[in-house]
Amino acid sequence: MLAWLLENLIKVGCLTVIDANGKKREYRGSGGPEVTIRLHKRSLNWTLPLNPELRLGEAYMDGTLTVENGSIYDLLDLVGRNYANLQQSPFHRIGELCRLICRPIHQFNPPWRSRANVAHHYDLSGELYDLFLDQDRQYSCAYFNDPRDDLDTAQENKKKHIAAKLLLEPNHRVLDIGCGWGGMALSLARHADVRVTGVTLSTEQLETARDRAEKAQLAQKVEFALRDYRHQEGRFDRIVSVGMFEHVGVTFYRTFFSKVRDLLTDDGVAVLHTIGRSDGPGATSSWIRKYIFPGGYIPALSEVVSAVEKSGLVMTDIEILRLHYAETLRHWRKRFLKQWDRAAKIYDDRFCRMWEFYLAGSEIAFRYMGLVVFQVQMGRRQEAVPLTRDYITETDERLRNGRQAA
């Protein structure tokens, strides 16, 4: 079964497989990367083709699949270049159909389940995230104004780009839904003289965010709470949500946007920053769902737009960031690999292989598999933002040059 799958998969590059008996077989297409892997269990010959999205990652984590010529990134890069061929596999089609059928169950995220899903990923040791994130712990897509930007610069660019779209004015009340470790909220308060409420479901993130606000002497302007967005009350001039919408689940999209509308003032502006699919609705990878983001789902723009339309909000701007997240993940992966020994002391080598597979696979998905980032700006009224987009570029430039937006 594995031989049949690889013969139909590899049309670009070359994959050499050494099986558990030491037998070597080569699958070669046109010019491209060349990778050699070794299988240490005979059962992989049939478990891998039955569910490659799940079993490949598990085999690498468990050490039953090793890469002898290249790295796991090189292997996934080879697969990514041939991904269109994998999609034609009957095993892939059956698996995708099963995931689509089960999608409402996998993405059923009421408050109690959302809290558990968040804890699975975001309540990991803060020391782990310090190993590969930027100084501000921005755990979302950076914005590369210049391909030569380092990670810290690109993450600052991202925060300022979003701030430009928020049209902030002094003393505005701002809500940050899914505030993470507080970086966005603190940056907005520091540079735009606004009052910010940040909400998260992660106790680890909450503790860090509050500590950072105290140390920055911004606790009077920024407050953080352990709270589900559905339980938030009050009215806000601006609402921002970065890297949180992927955890909402399709069945709760209308709930999310209806809540944003209820919380937004009549002349308010909201900006949503989320990973998205450029090829239409789909289903979450079984490996990602099991090991990294339970309950998570990356939406197609059609799914977002439909929910916004039904909420009564008006979309005032949509921007699609293409390879920015691929570059962000490249930085994260290289940083993590340099800190492998420290990460192994926090957890173990199996965890490190899991995290490497997660970062490498995610980068490949943005390079070859149709993942992008959507920034959707919304309001309750069409007149909430200027007539043209010029203000975004102008404010963006002022913020990058260290001058507060007027």
Q: Which CATH architecture has domain 111-400?
A: 3-Layer(aba) Sandwich (3.40)
Q: Residue 234: is it exposed, middle or buried by C-beta count within 10 angstroms (0-12/13-18/19+)?
A: exposed
Asked whether residue 89 carries a pLDDT value surpassing 70, the answer given is no
Which residues lie across from 374 on neighbouring strands? 274, 320
- pLDDT band of residue 51 (cuts 50, 70, 90) is confident
- pLDDT band of residue 371 (cuts 50, 70, 90) is very high
Tell me what pLDDT residue 125 has: 87
Query: Which is more confidently placed, 28 or 114?
Result: 28
Could you please report the per-residue DSSP string of 47-105? HHHHSHHHHHHHHHHHTSEEEEES-HHHHHHHHHHTHHHHHTSHHHHHHHHHHHHHHHH
- Number of neighbours of residue 386 by Cβ within 10 angstroms: 11
Digit-coded pLDDT (tens) for 117-144: 777 777 788 899 999 999 999 999 999 9
Tell me what pLDDT residue 405 has: 40
Q: Supply 138's token pair.
A: 């921005």
Domain definitions of the chain by residue range: 2-88, 111-400
Digit-coded pLDDT (tens) for 304-327: 999 999 999 999 999 999 999 999
Q: Distances from the Cα of 351 to the Cαs of 57, 134, 202, 384, in angstroms?
A: 12, 21, 20, 47
Spatial CA neighbour of 198 closest among 232, 169, 243, 157:
232
Give the Cα separation of 265 and 57 in Å (integer).
Answer: 46
User: What does DSSP say about strands 314-321 and 65-69: parallel, antiparallel, or unpaired?
Assistant: unpaired
Query: Which is more confidently placed, 95 or 49?
Result: 49
Whether the model clears a pTM of 0.85, i.e. scores above it, the answer is yes
Which of the 8 DSSP states describes residue 381? Answer: S
Amino acid occupying residue 204: E
Tell me what pLDDT residue 404 has: 43
Tell me what pLDDT residue 88 has: 65
Could you please report the per-residue DSSP string of 206-265? HHHHHHHHHHTT-TTTEEEEE--GGG--S-EEEEEEES-GGGT-GGGHHHHHHHHHHHEE
Residues 6+ apart with CB under 8 A from 401: none
Tell me what pLDDT residue 406 has: 38
> Are 309 and 318 spatial neighbours (Cβ–Cβ below 8 Å)?
no
Spatial CA neighbour of 178 closest among 232, 218, 130:
232
**What mean pLDDT value characterizes the chain?**
92
> Are 318 and 374 spatial neighbours (Cβ–Cβ below 8 Å)?
yes
